[in-house]
Amino acid sequence: MAGVGLQVLLYAPSLTGLFTFDDRKIVLEDASITGVAPLWDAFLRPYFSAPGATNAIAYRPATVCSLGLDARLFGLSPFAMRLENILWAGVGAGLFALLAARLGAPPEVSWSVLALLSAHPVRSEAIVTIVGRSELMAFAFVVSAILLGQQSWRFPDAPRRVVYAAASGAVILLALLSKESAFAAPALLLLVSCADGARPDLPKRQGALHPVFIAWGAAFVAAALLRRSVLGGILTGPSFSVFPVDNALAGLPPFDRVLAAMALLPRAAGLLLWPRTLVADYGSQAIPVSHLLTLMAVAAGAATVIAAGLIALRVRRTVPLAALGIGWVAASYLPFANVFYPTAVLFAERLLYTPCAGAVLAVASGLYALGQHKGTRAARGAALSSVVVLAFLGIFRIESRLPEWRDDRTLFSAVVRDMPTNGRAWWNLAVVALSDRDPAVAQQCLTAALRAEPSLRPSVESLRAHAVELRRADLVAAIDAALASPR
């Protein structure tokens, strides 16, 4: 309940916001959510795509059903849907703090984890945008499944162990049907089981983990079969491919893609440690590949990996929860970071929602371990003060960002302010201006979009054809001026 209360206090100002960005595509254009089709239809088609599509990548029926229930109970209300997002975020934060406590964290550490995780600004995108529901549900379900699995392997009697293992398997299936980020959960379960098994106060029981592994295995097989029947493949549809216009790394040779993905790691680490600048949409060309494939950028990425690994090894015995936190970050981020395969996006802050929990655990446990090591009241007070300062800094950053998510105009205006090379954001801002019948602003935005990302030219030409069909001479003139502008 404390986690829910903290999230409500922090994010209440966002409840007056409207549908933004992908909310319209997912909520307002989805027949299962709006009530045109029954809820169970969500299990028969891909997410973000029409039935029978072979180029789909996502399958998230649990998320669609959750949003559909909101719509049936409260109508297509952004207030209600944003409020439930806040509740899901609070539940997830509370469950993760409980997991830290069950892994041996003292009360001051587990409460610090709850406070810092609730106040971490990098989580704000997933919480405020309605389509972020998938990330929130997947995280809450994954942590719940791990807690149930932990309860299973701790029980001395086999029958109750099997019951908890079965419940853990059912919950991880819900996570897998919420978002693909849950596919990293086995690595997280393994990390937690190792951390739990290292505790001297718990008896060792041969085979205690077997029921959990079997239940999770069954859940993953069920999810794979469902995805194959709907998408045509376990991971994606048979004709799915990532285009460079969506992710600039997709067109690179594998070795270059890995190097560029490594060069992005310092950006991810910086956002986890202190997210000073937050951007809702990084686009596909806003971070030039030429800047990533430099010796300095790749070396910085390699240094980030090496430093994190050395720190984890150094503290694995003295501060095991800090080592676990670092491992949690790596296990939940790297599978979706373009390292092993090209993903649908170059970079996105929502990818850091689950890794953020590990970073918070590492920082909170590390601060208190340092205070305990010094052994003085002043050192322990300094650790507590550090947590309080970090929490308030996070709260201030969240509150300064919430107004950006009021509507599409404020959102994309903030994106181009912080990342003026983001052509897609300029394009979206131009579409908003055209919808508001403001051709002068639309021309400026389209010109900026084409200068930032010339590959958008076919999209602008398509927009011109649509304006011609509408017989809007003023919009056609604005688009023509943008197309004729020097690059």
11-39 pLDDT, tens per residue? Answer: 999 999 889 888 888 888 888 899 888 99
Q: Which two tokens stand for residue 91?
A: 């539940």
At residue 341's C-alpha, the angle toward residues 298 and 182, to 5°, is 110
Q: How far apart are CA 231 and CA 218, in angstroms?
A: 20
pTM of the model: 0.92
For residue 349, the one-letter residue type is E
Q: How far apart are CA 437 and CA 460, in angstroms?
A: 16
Q: How far apart are CA 360 and CA 356, in angstroms?
A: 6
pLDDT of residue 198: 59
Q: Which two tokens stand for residue 350?
A: 């929502």
Judge whether 457 and 450 are in contact, CB under 8 Å.
Answer: yes
Q: How far apart are CA 3 and CA 400, in angstroms?
A: 21
pLDDT of residue 50: 56
Spell out the domain ranges in the chain. Answer: 2-403, 422-484
Judge whether 113 and 97 are in contact, CB under 8 Å.
Answer: yes
Which one, of 459, 458, 451, lies nearest residue 420 by Cα? 451
Residues of the chain whose pLDDT is less than 50?
none
Q: For residue 320, give Cα distances in angstroms to 141, 316, 361.
A: 24, 4, 10
Kindly report, residue by residue over 52-78, the tens digit of the pLDDT: 555 678 899 999 999 999 999 999 999
E strand spans, 88-204: none
pLDDT of residue 331: 95
pLDDT of residue 436: 83
pLDDT of residue 54: 58
In this structure, the number of other CB atoms found within 10 A of the CB of residue 30 comes to 21
pLDDT of residue 376: 67
Report which DSSP code applies to 294: S
